[in-house]
């Protein structure tokens, strides 16, 4: 249940339009007991209470004011919750690793935006999801949450979870197409790293890094009945200094995702993603296929993801693949219990492991989780 | 006033039951001007604005969804407030001192849980109160808040305020008996320290500490009209390394508390607690008696608590005792003003002092506070 | 729209009056794209997404309980929002720079108070605005927010933005005159630094600094129709140790502000402030004039502020002045878009610059911002 409060706000004396408004308090708490383990001589395992395995835990406030004529002003504040410990999530202030805040208190790390929308679309400012994030989250039956089934490309790649712009960007201005284009949708974003224009004035060697942390990206898609497809691309500017000279270390991420709902086949939803990333001399590629099958109050989810790092030269590519199988029993639209099993395989020197465990190169990591989720 | 919003949530298409739900925003702000001082050559004193002297300051969100058939899903997010400064309280991520978060932002340190309940009782996951905490808080007329009258056993003991599991545990799974057992009630908790399974793989000596921070505890009680009694016991696993060998340093806490309301005697509520703790070679024992006497809108509270540390061998035991006298005037059910005086005596080398002051060994510490509390 | 919930709380059994209550969730999100630059050899510039340029971004909870007879209990929790990044603002725990908390999580840094009010006025405890802050904020058309037009005295002076008591004080007890005095209003505040009474007991030299961080201040004003005037003065105790001897380093701030609304002149609101501060051998003086002119849904704002540092002796005084011009278009009572241009000039060695830029001594700094603001 979202609590939505509707009120006719007082009209302004000076001839400004009356506004109809609503504010909503919303959130999710999701907790699971998880066991993950690696294999081989370097293996470690762990029992944990994890958060966000089925749906990301959060607490949020959002609202919209109708300005008349199809125009609206709105806000969205959404904080991630580590409900296993009561702490919030960190946010990042400048889209660079130097801007990570300290773990502890609640931050509106998930989204913190103010918007103006109308027939032209929506202009949005603040901290928001990057266009290059969405396909990884939406075209995976397990998404990108804290669960063991979550999109392995997002966890293995350098442009995903560990990148300051892999999920969201701060200091962003975004534009969204209006929902009136016959199924076409799209998002443009420019986000600022907010560096000083020059660094040499404090006596240091110049680093020419004043554009670092600037992100530019776009996503376009088409949704028509059971069919949905979207592609996205983005670049974050980063610079390395080698021998006192700047070397571009830009991060580029591109991906395409699609899904189809076979309504005659118990509404089976088939989905997939292809992903490509590069930074300096590093390259990475990923692909995923999966499905979601609702059966009454139950839901069965399966995904297979593969990610390979591409070093320079004709050498074997470290490759990791994950298979995840999930079962969800919906107690209501808002509450569910669920179980997941997952396994990561590694080859060519890769050693990716499920969260909480470590594994030896070329060895597997496996895990099980059982949890409950409640949305409000 | 708690703000409770009731709404009939939309029914799910897939045959899942309709849900009746509520979400409540609640909190307390409590502030007091306090003066505390020690005595003897090492004495210091302090004037402070303190929080939480009558009732712990907090801000929370909680809700329940009726799933039908006596089943319900619910959540509870509750943050402690240092309303004298506007900061939150820290939380702890792993039930070990290494997991303390940084002071500053709001955390849901007091409680952060998601639950499934039914005729069988309640299963609860997240950060929650440990079973061994409750008797110390509930069978003391001053509780365990920030006031000078608060339970001295909780402040003096090593298994109370300063212990990562002395109040709450993170990463916990709990079970509560249903409220239909003729007055019997109970809580079981298992909480995880979430350590790596082994530490030697990084080249360090093994520490066998992967169970550190694991907590297991239970509490059972019986409430019948004016009479209430409960006992609790719990263990947190900790390990010391001595000469490269692990030595168990487990913390064990047990206590029993009871209260009786003499309804013919102006509803005087008499209460008491006995408390026992040990960790490695350390032992501690505490006892408390007190009462709460409502007279119209007023309330008089008195408590006497005694705590002795028990070193190994037949040596004098450092002992501290506190007597506290409080007066509360209820302006309404939610708002009150109050005053408290308290005095701690020390013997056999003990030097416990009221919060904000320090005192010399075997010297007394005294304090006065005057405050107001408002709940919403 | 503020969401106000009114409920008849349950009456208390013990003869205490029934209470009528309300709790309100409120806030502001304000974001602007800003470019600021300095000039001269040391100049730097920056593009930023800033928050709080028109109105300070915030999220708050407040409520009042009617106790009958003109008495009420109330609370106010208000957190500043850096909505460009999703983080909160730091707070300060002891009115000294040692008490700054870590950046990251949400704190109720803006206000965190519990109050008791009645015919006598209001007693308020917690973290609150200092009396010496208000004139700087209220008698400036741009206020003291994060915008480039904000009061330059507040940014340049040592008793403003950078002082732990320049805006608010923690651990405060305040008294406010009742609103029934024919236009006269007033605020008294005493806030505690909460230091140990002595420091020599830990083997250090005495610092006699136990009063550091104590603030005392007062403000009185008179509002009559279009005319408003207020004066304020305050002192924060600080101590320096020179050659093992304590030297008073108290911060003193005094100011006076006034405004007049010319209703026959399109409701032009003219305003001004005079400001004086000193700390040890440092002195500073500031003055500001400005106006706010509403024209239909539009608003034009202009301000000119001047601040000079006064070193000991008859030497040239480093002086900075800012002129700012702003345009606001109100989409509704709660939502607006706006643009501001501002320029700081420096002389006699001053090098004040607009936030985000640096400038060479005696050189100017200029900036432009374009933003939107939404209140709820």
Reported as a single tens digit per residue, the pLDDT across B13-25 is 333 344 457 789 9
**Inter-chain residue contact C114 with B31, CB threshold 8 Å:** yes
Residues of A in contact with C294 (CB under 8 A): 14
Q: Give per-residue pLDDT as tens, B277-298.
A: 999 889 999 999 999 999 999 9
CA torsion, points B366, B372, C2, C5, in degrees to nearest 10?
130
Inter-residue contact B107 to A88 (CB < 8 Å):
yes
Return the residue of B nearest to C168 by Cα: B85
Residues of C in contact with B1 (CB under 8 A): 7, 9, 19, 21, 23, 63, 65
In the predicted structure, residue C358 carries a pLDDT above the cut 60:
yes
- Using pLDDT thresholds of 50, 70 and 90, give the confidence band for residue C4: low
CATH architecture of B4-375: Beta Barrel (2.40)
- Using pLDDT thresholds of 50, 70 and 90, give the confidence band for residue C7: very low
pLDDT at A153: 97
In the predicted structure, residue C201 carries a pLDDT above the cut 70:
no
A349-354 long-range contacts, CB within 8 A, separation 24+ = A349/A316, A349/A318, A350/A309, A350/A318, A350/A319, A350/A320, A351/A42, A352/A152, A352/A155, A352/A156, A352/A307, A352/A320, A352/A322, A353/A36, A353/A38, A354/A36, A354/A148
Domain ranges of chain B: 4-375
**Inter-chain residue contact B297 with C14, CB threshold 8 Å:** yes
Rounded to a whole number, what is the distance in Å from the CA of A108 to chain C's nearest CA? 4
pLDDT at A201: 54
Residues of B in contact with C102 (CB under 8 A): 102-104
Q: How far apart are the first and last CA of chain A?
A: 4
- Which residues lie across from C190 on neighbouring strands? C173, C216
**Inter-chain residue contact A104 with B105, CB threshold 8 Å:** yes
**Inter-chain residue contact C81 with A108, CB threshold 8 Å:** yes
Q: Give per-residue pLDDT as tens, A222-237.
A: 999 999 999 999 999 9
Residues of B in contact with C24 (CB under 8 A): none
Q: Give the residue-averaged pLDDT of A44-58.
A: 97
In the predicted structure, residue C1 carries a pLDDT above the cut 50:
no
Residues of B in contact with C71 (CB under 8 A): 331
To the nearest whole percent, how much of chain A has pLDDT over 90? 84
Comparing CB atoms, the residue among A25, A48, A330 nearest residue B192 is A48
In the predicted structure, residue B8 carries a pLDDT above the cut 80:
no
Comparing CB atoms, the residue among B105, B294, B296 nearest residue C88 is B105
Mutate to test the interface with C, among A11, A66, A75, A93 (most CBs of C within 10 A): A75
Mutate to test the interface with A, among B80, B125, B200 (most CBs of A within 10 A): B125
Q: Give per-residue pLDDT as tens, A73-84.
A: 999 999 999 999
Inter-residue contact A95 to A169 (CB < 8 Å):
yes
**Inter-chain residue contact A77 with C81, CB threshold 8 Å:** yes
SS3 C357: coil
Phi, psi at C17, each rounded to 5°: -60, 150
Q: Give per-residue pLDDT as tens, A161-180.
A: 999 999 999 999 999 999 99
Q: Give per-residue pLDDT as tens, C16-40.
A: 344 457 789 999 999 999 999 999 9
Residue listed under structure tokens 């830029």: C357
In the predicted structure, residue A5 carries a pLDDT above the cut 60:
no
Return the residue of B nearest to C3 by Cα: B3
For C241, other C-beta atoms within 10 Å of its C-beta total 14
Q: Give the residue-averaged pLDDT of A40-68.
A: 96
Q: What is the DSSP string of B22-59?
A: EEEEEEEEEEEEEEEE--STT-BEEEEEEE-SSS--EE
**CA-based nearest residue to B254, from B230, B272, B238, B271:** B230
Comparing CB atoms, the residue among C3, C332, C356 nearest residue A23 is C3
Q: Give per-residue pLDDT as tens, B161-200.
A: 999 999 999 999 999 999 999 999 999 999 999 998 876 5
In the predicted structure, residue C185 carries a pLDDT above the cut 60:
yes
* Residues B300, C83: Cα–Cα separation, whole Å: 47
**Inter-chain residue contact C65 with B374, CB threshold 8 Å:** yes
pTM to 2 decimals?
0.94
Comparing CB atoms, the residue among C46, C88, C297 nearest residue A14 is C297
**Inter-chain residue contact C376 with A102, CB threshold 8 Å:** no
Q: Give per-residue pLDDT as tens, A298-329.
A: 999 999 999 999 877 778 999 999 999 999 99
* Residues A174, A177: Cα–Cα separation, whole Å: 10
Q: Give per-residue pLDDT as tens, B112-139.
A: 999 999 999 999 999 999 999 999 999 9
Burial letters for B76-96: b for 16+ Cβ neighbours within 10 Å, e otherwise?
Answer: bbbbbbbbbbbbbbbbbbbbb
Under 8 Å CB pairs connecting chains B and C tally to 187
pLDDT at B242: 79
- Which residues lie across from C240 on neighbouring strands? C247
Q: Give per-residue pLDDT as tens, A136-162.
A: 999 999 999 889 999 999 999 999 999
**Residue A246 is encoded by which pair of tokens?**
């700047």
Inter-residue contact C346 to C364 (CB < 8 Å):
yes
Angle CA A326–A332–A334, to nearest 5: 80
Comparing CB atoms, the residue among C29, C103, C374 nearest residue A101 is C103
**Inter-chain residue contact A74 with C30, CB threshold 8 Å:** no
**Inter-chain residue contact A196 with C46, CB threshold 8 Å:** yes
Comparing CB atoms, the residue among A86, A335, A371 nearest residue B170 is A86
pLDDT at A2: 52
pLDDT at C206: 58
* Residues A52, A148: Cα–Cα separation, whole Å: 10
**Inter-chain residue contact B104 with C91, CB threshold 8 Å:** yes
pLDDT at A245: 80
**Residue A331 is encoded by which pair of tokens?**
């107690």
Comparing CB atoms, the residue among C48, C88, C333 nearest residue A171 is C48
pLDDT at C32: 98
**Inter-chain residue contact B14 with A105, CB threshold 8 Å:** no
Residues of B in contact with C90 (CB under 8 A): 104
Return the residue of B nearest to A45 by Cα: B197
Q: Give the residue-averaged pLDDT of A351-372.
A: 97
User: What's the mean per-residue pLDDT of chain A?
Assistant: 92
- Using pLDDT thresholds of 50, 70 and 90, give the confidence band for residue A15: very low
**CA-based nearest residue to B359, from B371, B376, B347, B373:** B347
Rounded to a whole number, what is the distance in Å from the CA of A274 to chain C's nearest CA? 30
Q: Give per-residue pLDDT as tens, B84-121.
A: 999 999 999 999 988 999 989 999 999 999 999 999 99
* Residues A350, A362: Cα–Cα separation, whole Å: 6
B: neighbours with 3+ CB pairs under 8 Å? Answer: A, C
Q: Give the residue-averaged pLDDT of A189-200.
A: 87
- Using pLDDT thresholds of 50, 70 and 90, give the confidence band for residue B314: confident
Comparing CB atoms, the residue among B25, B73, B201 nearest residue A331 is B73
Among B207-216, B323-332, C52-61, the range scoring the smallest mean pLDDT is: B207-216
* Beta strands A3-8; A268-279: pairing state: unpaired
**Inter-chain residue contact C86 with A15, CB threshold 8 Å:** no
């Amino acid at each position: 249940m979202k609590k939505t409060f509707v009120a006719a706000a007082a009209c302004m004396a000076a001839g400004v339009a009356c506004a109809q408004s609503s504010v909503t308090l919303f959130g999710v708490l999701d907790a699971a007991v998880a066991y993950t383990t690696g294999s081989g001589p370097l293996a470690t395992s762990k029992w944990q209470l994890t958060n966000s395995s089925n749906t990301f835990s959060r607490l949020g406030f959002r609202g919209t004011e109708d300005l008349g004529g199809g125009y609206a002003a709105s806000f969205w504040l959404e904080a991630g919750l580590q409900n296993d410990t009561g702490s919030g999530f960190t946010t990042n202030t400048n889209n660079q690793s130097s801007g990570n805040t300290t773990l502890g208190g609640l931050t509106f790390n998930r989204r913190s935006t103010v918007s103006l929308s109308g027939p032209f679309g929506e202009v949005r400012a603040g901290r928001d999801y990057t266009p290059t994030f969405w396909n990884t989250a939406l075209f995976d039956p397990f998404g990108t949450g804290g669960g063991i089934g979550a999109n392995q490309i997002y966890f293995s790649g350098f442009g995903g979870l560990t990148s300051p712009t892999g999920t969201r960007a701060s200091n962003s201005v975004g534009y969204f197409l209006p929902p009136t284009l016959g199924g076409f949708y799209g998002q443009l974003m420019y986000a600022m790293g907010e560096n000083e224009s020059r660094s040499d004035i404090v006596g240091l060697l110049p680093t020419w890094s004043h554009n670092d942390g600037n992100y530019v990206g776009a996503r376009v898609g088409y949704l028509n009945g059971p069919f949905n497809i979207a592609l996205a691309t983005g670049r974050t500017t980063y610079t390395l200094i080698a021998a006192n000279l700047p070397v571009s270390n830009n991060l580029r991420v591109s991906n395409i995702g699609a899904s189809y709902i076979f309504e005659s086949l118990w509404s089976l939803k088939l989905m997939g993603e292809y992903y490509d990333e590069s930074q300096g001399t590093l390259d990475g590629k990923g692909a995923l296929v999966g499905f979601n099958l609702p059966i009454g109050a139950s839901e069965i989810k399966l995904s297979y993801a593969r990610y390979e790092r591409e070093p320079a030269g004709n050498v074997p590519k470290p490759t990791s693949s994950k298979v995840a199988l999930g079962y969800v029993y919906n107690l209501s639209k808002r509450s569910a219990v669920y179980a997941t099993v997952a396994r990561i395989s590694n080859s060519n020197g890769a050693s990716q492991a499920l969260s909480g465990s470590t594994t030896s190169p070329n060895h597997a990591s496996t895990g099980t989780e059982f949890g409950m989720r409640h949305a409000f």
